[in-house]
Structure 1
Amino acid sequence: MITVRPAIALDAASMANLLNAIIDEGGTTALTTQVSGPDLADWMASKYERAAWHVAVDGSEQVVGFQWIASGTDYLPPEAAEIATFVQVGQTGLGIGSKLFDATRKAAKELGYKWINANIRADNEGGLIYYQSRGFQDYGRIEGYELADGQVVDKILKRYDL
């Protein structure tokens, strides 16, 4: 059974392990270098303004997914939150992302956001399908985005109005 709850600092190491497996697999995230538990704990504590972090955990409290929203990007207005979603490799399509988004959508409203922006690699078919299935609509494209490792990808911008 999967449950969703707010993320805490003690989740950071498990979240980092999950994210690093996704980074290693490649093709779905703009992140290209490994992160540590302390990195994620720092992000949760201070990096993002008006943020909400949620984890999906299994019956043994193992993190199988996480999602966050935050403001502070240089290209979004203050009424918009940026979203990021990560589900354990091999566990996509099982409803984890849906449960996470239910909690995130509620948190976004409570934080006063009017809409949520998803910035997705154009070659991330699973991510594009996920956000589309949640009701996000395409509204823009970033062409020729250079990742930290030098790879160049296009990104699709999707919007969810709260």
Structure 2
Amino acid sequence: MPVHVRAALPQDASAMARILNEIIDIGGTTAHREKFDDQRIIDYFISPKLGISCFVALEGEQVLGFQSLDWSDPDWPGDRLPPDWGVIATFVDPHAHKRGAGRRVVRQHGGSCEKCGCQLHRRNHPQGKHRRPGLLRRHWLYRL
């Protein structure tokens, strides 16, 4: 069955939480340490205050992964990005690698970047491009 992409909906939160929580349990590929419930997924990825878009990759009705695109947070307590930068985070079910979910959501967000006047700059996650499990890569956006 082909992988397709659509905007994430609140109904996807449980599947997204399951994926991210498994990645957190495995360790080593995400900065997230606290588990996510449905509401936290909605607040953090699907409908955040600085959100631009969030997409899920599906095979049939099964969520294989997701990617969020947000403007940088000017109140972030750590290293701050310029206010016209954003961050893309990509998460793929550790049991669904090599099925195209990551590639499809990255391609979909390329269109979102164009719509908001952004240029995508790829910077691989410190642990390496496509190093498993779960986090495919990290990107920064710069608004033109």
TM-score (norm 1): 0.70
Q: Quick one: distance in 1 between partners of 2:53 and 2:131?
A: 20
| 8 A contact 1:55–1:65 mirrored in 2 | yes
1:11 and 2:12 correspond: yes
| 8 A contact 1:80–1:114 mirrored in 2 | no
Distance change >3 Å, CA 16–CA 38, structure 1 → 2: same
Task: Indicate the SS of the match to 1:108.
Answer: helix
Distance change >3 Å, CA 38–CA 160, structure 1 → 2: closer
Instruction: Read off the aligned partner of 1:77 and give its amino acid letter.
Output: P
Instruction: Select the residue among 104, 108, 117 that pairs with 1:112.
Output: 117
Q: Percent identity, please.
A: 29
2:73 matched to which residue of 1?
73
1:126 and 2:130 correspond: yes
Instruction: Read off the aligned partner of 2:42 and give its amino acid letter.
Output: A
Q: Which has the higher contact order (CA 8 A, sep 6+)?
A: 2
Aligned length: 134
Q: 67-76 or 80-89: which moved more?
A: 67-76
1:100 matched to which residue of 2?
105
Query: By how many angstroms is 1:127 displaced?
Result: 4.5
Q: What's the Cα RMSD here?
A: 2.7
Task: Indicate the SS of the match to 1:90.
Answer: coil
Task: Indicate the SS of the match to 2:118.
Answer: coil
Larger radius of gyration: 1
Task: Indicate the SS of the match to 1:85.
Answer: strand
Distance change >3 Å, CA 57–CA 69, structure 1 → 2: same
Distance change >3 Å, CA 125–CA 98, structure 1 → 2: closer
Distance change >3 Å, CA 115–CA 78, structure 1 → 2: farther
> Structure 2: any 5+ residue segments left out of the alignment?
75-79
Q: Map Cα deviations across residues 93-141 of structure 1 (whole Å, 9 max, x no partner).
A: 3221111111111112212223356573x2355359954xxxxxxxxxx
